Amino acid sequence: MSQKNKPYFLQSFAIVVLSIAAFVGFKSFLPEKIFTETETVSKNVVVDSLLLDAIEVEKAIKAEDTAAVTEVDTLEESEIVFEEKHGVQFPPETFEQYKGYQHLVALFQKLYGLEETGSGNVRIAYFGDSMTDGDMIVQDFRSNLQEKFGGEGVGFVNITSESAGSRGSVLHQYSGNWKTQSYLNVKRPDSPFGVNGYVFFTKHDTVKPIWVKYRAGGLRHMNRLNSPTLFYGKSNNTEASVEFIAGKDTLVKKLNPVNKLNTLLVTSANPRSLEANFIKADSIPFYGFNFDNGKGVHVDNFSNRGNSGLPISLFNTGVMKAFNEKLGYDLIVLHYGTNVLNYGSYNYTWYEKRMGIVVNHLRECFPGVDILVISTADKATKYDMEMKTDSAVVPLTLAQKRYAIQTESGFVNLYTLMGGDGSIVKWVDEEVPAMANKDYTHFNYRGAKKVADLIYKQLINGYEKYKALKKEAEPEVEETAPVKENDSITVLKDSING
């Protein structure tokens, strides 16, 4: 090194040393929590408007709700005793171990009928956020149930979908001239939302055709578009029709939008593919197509990226009852939490109360339905340069358990099923191959399948306990010795003489 360059080198070296010293000195004043290390773009591209409103209200209040805290403490310390339903009563549970199988007895009873007779059907609406985007988790949960109890078909599918390109259980394409309204960002839609939280309209277009296409995926029990049926709403339009290309058959059918909810069976066959071209269908609200064989178990995936679950409160009760008359839901799954973490304080009483209102509204919309709450999964954030379970995960999980108990719903603690503290870090960094993405939040297909298996296993565990309790509750039938012919004659003579 030349003498000329030495001063510059010494200056640079001194700056580096001073920078390191300054960092060490000020480290204790830096926030413990630093941004999550993310190598992939998060799927949470939107947060629903009702969650944002709720957060603003929470920030405005700021004060601690002493009464609510007292209520929480009482709930966590008391034993949860269940009332008998359909002749079955599960034993009491503590807050810590709560699963609420008692509140799923109606579902278990229907599953039992399926298993015993092979007839009938069970339908499940699975509401979720980006964790179930692209039919992740749900497709494997559906497949597991259909393998055990029967059932063919992928269930209800939207007209348009942000996850169409990533879904494997059904291949889905649509033209670009659809108007889509979602309950995530529209509070007053042109027509009521469907059970999927959407309503779709054709845009007036005299040049480009308006269409949607579906093709069955290759997953178990989902390799056909079973009995494709179009769901649509009410309109004064009397000229609309749809040209359907189902496999090799082409059919043109007129629409009759006279009721708040209308259905049109395309064909009773089970084609591999379906194309629908909409003709003069302006002003008619469309919801989607249903694909199922009407037997066994069917699970509809109603996922929305950025959803907190709160928008469900916008459902029109009359329209939901009409959907329920057509589809007949036995269980509603609420799988949320990803978009609620890290908003406001660690006191999630506000979310607990609002989701309690959501569950009560669902029971008005779908009378007699059972509810299953699935908690947030583990999520990691960087603390002091190390990825650890986010501090908000446990408080939110407890709030979700509390609203499940208060609304008499079943509960799956996904956080503990995954392994509890630090589990998502292990799923990303230690499992080979990895089961979750580098955002330390979302699962890949391997992880989603494992999560589906965990949820299914807990549900079936409750079902098996139900069967055992049912058997215990049934009165034993005493076996009597067969009456011989001579004995019958003797008894008859005695009765006459007596």
Give the pLDDT confidence of 388-427 residue by residue, as tens digits: 999 999 999 999 999 999 999 999 999 999 999 999 999 9
Residue 367, Cβ neighbours under 10 Å: how many?
9
Q: Nearest CA to 334 among 280, 231, 430, 407?
A: 407
Pair of tokens at residue 474: 């049934």
Quick one: pLDDT at residue 344? 62
Please, is 453 exposed, middle or buried when counting C-beta atoms within 10 Å of its C-beta (0-12, 13-18, 19+)?
Answer: middle
Quick one: pLDDT at residue 28? 44
Position 152, amino acid: E
Q: How high is the mean pLDDT of the chain?
A: 87
Quick one: pLDDT at residue 282? 95
Mean predicted confidence (pLDDT) in 348-360: 96
Judged by average pLDDT, the poorest of 211-225, 337-351, 380-394 is: 337-351
Cα–Cα distance measured from residue 491 to residue 498, given in angstroms and rounded to the nearest whole number = 10
Quick one: pLDDT at residue 477? 55
For residue range 120-160, what is the model confidence (pLDDT) as tens digits?
899 999 999 999 999 999 999 999 999 999 999 999 999 99
* Chain Cα centroid distance, residue 398: 19
Quick one: pLDDT at residue 77? 75
Per-residue pLDDT band for 479 (boundaries 50, 70, 90) equals low
- Label each residue of 332-390 as H, E or C: EEEECCCCCCCCCCCCCHHHHHHHHHHHHHHHHHCCCCEEEEECCCCCEEEECCEEEEC
Pair of tokens at residue 19: 């920078």
Residues 6+ apart with CB under 8 A from 496: none
Measured at the CA of 124, the angle between CA 118 and CA 130, to 5 degrees, comes to 140
Mean predicted confidence (pLDDT) in 285-314: 96
Quick one: pLDDT at residue 481? 53
The packing angle between helices 105-117 and 445-473, to 10°, is: 90
Q: State the virtual CA torsion across 458, 460, 463, 469 in degrees, nearest 10.
A: -70
Quick one: pLDDT at residue 75? 73
Residue 165 has pLDDT above 70, yes or no: yes
The answer to whether the beta carbons of residues 174 and 213 sit under 8 Å apart is yes
Quick one: pLDDT at residue 48? 78
Cα–Cα distance measured from residue 234 to residue 259, given in angstroms and rounded to the nearest whole number = 5
Per-residue pLDDT band for 375 (boundaries 50, 70, 90) equals very high
Residue 9 has pLDDT above 60, yes or no: no
Cα–Cα distance measured from residue 211 to residue 289, given in angstroms and rounded to the nearest whole number = 13
Question: What is the DSSP secondary-structure string of 200-231?
Answer: EEEPP-SSS-EEEEEEE-SSTT-SS--S-EEE
The answer to whether the beta carbons of residues 210 and 202 sit under 8 Å apart is yes
For residue range 182-217, what is the model confidence (pLDDT) as tens digits?
999 999 999 999 999 999 999 987 789 999 999 999
Per-residue pLDDT band for 41 (boundaries 50, 70, 90) equals very low
Cα–Cα distance measured from residue 335 to residue 14, given in angstroms and rounded to the nearest whole number = 55
Q: Nearest CA to 97 among 471, 470, 463, 458?
A: 458
Per-residue pLDDT band for 87 (boundaries 50, 70, 90) equals very high
Pair of tokens at residue 473: 């509750």
For the chain, what percent of residues have pLDDT higher than 90? 74
Quick one: pLDDT at residue 13? 53
Residue 168 has pLDDT above 80, yes or no: yes
Quick one: pLDDT at residue 55? 78
Mean predicted confidence (pLDDT) in 463-467: 98
The answer to whether the beta carbons of residues 220 and 209 sit under 8 Å apart is no
Cα–Cα distance measured from residue 123 to residue 112, given in angstroms and rounded to the nearest whole number = 14
